[in-house]
Amino acid sequence: MKKSIALAAFATFCLTGAALATDCVAHVKRTACPGQEAESYKKCNGAAECDKNEDAATTEAACQAAAARECDNKRTEITKSKVVTATFKGAALVGGFAADGKADAKGANFCAADRPDMNKCN
């Protein structure tokens, strides 16, 4: 009986963990404006890059849209640029821009280098 209870508890734990897993993960890499590293990297606990779980994105299209929104840069004098990549259920998504910022349907980057909210450091 004790083995049955332990096995049931273990199965519940495993299923709960699987249900809590995030399907969509955006990876954000920031380039800070000179001297603004500490402020720019605060959103990643002091690191230049980190993963952000996009829990509300339950489809591949929603995940792509969430990753594209991560490109928004409201702190133009703090963060120079961003590269955002994403995975949905562990598979890399196509963002539309190559690492150099040029349009490329096979690129993983969701942020265009020529966005008006990038490269505005003073």
Listed by start position, the domains of the chain span 23-122
User: Across the 122 residues of the chain, what is the mean pLDDT of every consecutive 10-residue run?
Assistant: 47 43 93 97 97 96 93 96 94 78 68 90 86
Which amino acid, 7?
L
The structure tokens listed for 63 are 């995940």
User: Whole-model pTM?
Assistant: 0.77
Are the CB atoms for 70 and 82 separated by under 8 Å?
yes
The dihedrals phi and psi of 42, each to the nearest 5 degrees, come to -55, -35
Best CA proximity match to 79, nearest among 115, 37, 46, 44: 37
